[in-house]
Structure formats: C-alpha cells, structure tokens
Amino acid sequence: MDETLAEFFRRTILKIPMTEMMTILKTWNFLSENQLQTVNFRQRKESIVQDLVLLCEENHASLNDAAHLDIIYTQFHRHQKIWDVFQMSKAPGDDIDLFDMEQFKSSFKKILQRALKNVTVSFRDAEENSVWIRIAWGTQYKKPNQYKPAYVVYYSQTPYAFTSSSRLKSNLPLLGQSFETHNCTTSLQEGSLGLDINMDSRIIHENKVEKERVQRVTQEIFGDYPQPRLEFAQYKLETKFKSDLNGGILAEREEPLRCLVKFSSPHLLEALKSLAPAGIADAPLSPLLTCIPNKGKNYFKIRDK
C-alpha cells in the first residue's frame, strides 16, 4: 500500500475513541469478523491501530475505503462540526423531476471532477433519504488534502443541504452548481394521522364530527410527517396593555408593556401539534405559533400595529 494512504488509515483509525472502535469498524464492514478477532484489543492503542492498518493492507484497501471510514467517523461525531444549511429554491416554471439517487451521485461527482482535476468525492447513504458526501480538495498541481475534507449532507426529498465548514470557501459556488440539476422535491407519500381506534363499542364519542374537524385542521396546518425538532420559541411583546376591565393600574399607560414569553420543550412543534387533538387548545391554533416553520424563525417581536 502507498505510504501516504497507510498513514491516512493510521491517523483516521487513531482518531476513533476505543469505546467506539468496534461499532465503527463493524459499521464500516471492510474487515471481516475473523480478521477483527485476530487483533488483540487489550494492547496499547498504537499497537492496535498498527495491527488494523496491516489488515487493511492485506485487504488491499483503497482511498475510497479510507474515505468511507472517515465518513462513518464523522457521522458518529457530527455534533463536533459546525454546519451551514443551504436552501435551494425553484425557479418559476421548473417541473418537479423524479429524483434518482444514483444519477445524482454520478453527476455530482462528474461536475466536481471536471472542474477540479484533483478532488476525491465519496458517498454514503444514510437515514431518511439522505446522502453524506465527502469531498477532499486539491488544486491543479497538488493532490487532494485528505485531512481537511468538506462534508455535504443532502436530504434528497427536501431542498436543504448541510455543509461542514470548508477551508476553501471559494469552492462553495461549485458545490451549488452541482446541485442545480437536482433541486427538486417530490411529494412524500401520504402518511395517515391515525385517529384513535376505540375498540370498545360501549364507549361512544358524542363529538365525533368535531374531533374529525380538529384532526383535519391540525393535519392541514402541520402535515402528516414528524415536525422539525425545535426546542424553544420566544415572543417579545411590546404592545399596550389591553384589559376588559375598565380602569386598573396598567390600563391607562401609553407606553407598551414589555413582556417576554418563551415556550420550551424537548420537541416544541410536536407539542404544539398535539395541543388541539388533546383538547388543550382550540383548533386552529394562533398563527403566531403555526407560522414558525413557514417563516423559518423562532424569535418574534410583536408590536401594536
């Protein structure tokens, strides 16, 4: 094996904490069970890594395999990276194309390789129709630097792509271009909001019609699929105090009443979605709450008109 490749393997495996070693190696699935059993995992870490690199050489591991291992490591440690998110927009008049993952991967790779001779592009499919793309950048005269790759995670059924901070910011437009041919979203298959099936015929719901209306309105507003995970929403009120009662200390004031309302939850949007079906709030909910995904913000300032 090439010395630089062996060194890359060594450094990549050395990065992996011992507690995750077996899991990551198994996920990588490049070394067989038998081979892994020949390694003594009770040695010092450097010796273990050395043994593993030797096994990789035995299996004629390629740069591609190393890149895959790197992607898996990064997937396990995704929280250690800072991600930017890009939203692709459709030009008016664009048709909805059907998305083919393999076609996307091959054209993505081709575009990058055509533009930059020295670039390593690797893919790994992940959950929810997403693909992790690892890109090691080189220049016209230098081989790709495997130690500072950029990562792009693209959720194919959405217009969103996440990128980890890339040293070479100038390559971002190129990345954008490689997405241009594939900025489509196909409609997800209709899920169904399961209504409670009441098995016992001795229980009768008097307000079935109303229940169904609430479910329908909730589904129209929130959709069928799990909500994006959000932990809080903050509303800053700068409105004048309004009261039904005449008089009262606060009623006469001209200045706005400053007030901050913060909603927090392990999964705020799911909680809001469940309010009306649970009978805790009326449906439809206030647009101040339901506009969060549409407006893409969770800090609001409310002033008197």
* From candidates 18, 91, 197, 203, binder to other proteins by CB under 8 A: 203
Query: Which tokens belong to 266?
Result: 């392990």
With CB under 8 A as the contact rule, which of the stretches 20-28, 200-208, 231-239, 253-261 interacts with other proteins?
200-208
Chosen residue from 207, 239, 264, 286 binding other proteins by CB under 8 A: 207
The verdict on 303 binding other proteins (CB under 8 A) reads: no
Straight-line distance from the first to the last Cα atom of the chain, in angstroms, rounded to the nearest whole number: 71
Among 32, 103, 186, 198, binds other proteins (CB under 8 A): 198
Binding window for other proteins (CB under 8 A); candidates: 97-105, 139-147, 167-175, 278-286: 278-286
Tokens of 70: 């790197």
Rule CB under 8 A: is residue 209 a binding residue for other proteins? yes
Q: What is the DSSP string of 7-50?
A: HHHHHHHHHS-HHHHHHHHHHHT-S-HHHHHTS-TTS-HHHHHH
With a CB cutoff of 8 Å and minimum separation 6, the contacts of 260 are 234, 235, 236, 237
The b/e string for 148-185 (b: 16+ C-beta within 10 A; e otherwise) is ebbbbbbbbeeeebbbbebeeeebeebbeebbeebbbb
Nearer to other proteins, 22 or 278 (CB): 278
Q: How many residues bind other proteins (CB under 8 A)?
A: 18
Closest approach of Cβ 20 to other proteins, in Å? 40
Min dist. Cβ of residue 295 to other proteins (A):
26
Give me the residues paired with residue 131 across strands: 125, 154
Any contact of residue 206 with other proteins (CB under 8 A)? yes
The stretch near other proteins (CB under 8 A) out of 35-43, 142-150, 238-246, 280-288 is: 280-288
| Nearest residue (CB) to other proteins, 88 versus 283 | 283
Give the residue from 291, 305, 304, 301 showing the smallest Cα distance to 236.
Answer: 301
Binding string, residues 248-277; x marks residues near other proteins by CB under 8 A: -----------------------------x
Instruction: Tell me if 135 sits within 8 A of 150, measured CB to CB.
Output: yes
Q: Which of 14, 174, 281, 302 binds other proteins (CB under 8 A)?
A: 281
**At residue 103, what is the residue type?**
Q
Q: Which DSSP helix (H) or strand (E) runs through 153?
A: strand 150-155
110, 205, 216, 262: residue in contact with other proteins (rule CB under 8 A): 205
Nearer to other proteins, 208 or 262 (CB): 208
Site track 210-229 with other proteins (rule: CB under 8 A), x = hit: xx------------------
| Closer to other proteins by Cβ: residue 3 or 200 | 200
| Interface region with other proteins, contact rule CB under 8 A, candidates 5-13, 52-60, 205-213, 224-232 | 205-213
Per-residue HEC secondary structure of 55-114 comes to HHHHCCCCHHHHHHHHHHHHHHCHHHCCEEEEECCCCCCCCCCCCCHHHHHHHHHHHHHH
Q: What's the CA gap between 185 and 88, in Å, rounded?
A: 10
202 binds other proteins (CB under 8 A): yes
Residues forming the site for other proteins (CB under 8 A)? 196, 198, 200, 202-207, 209-211, 277-282
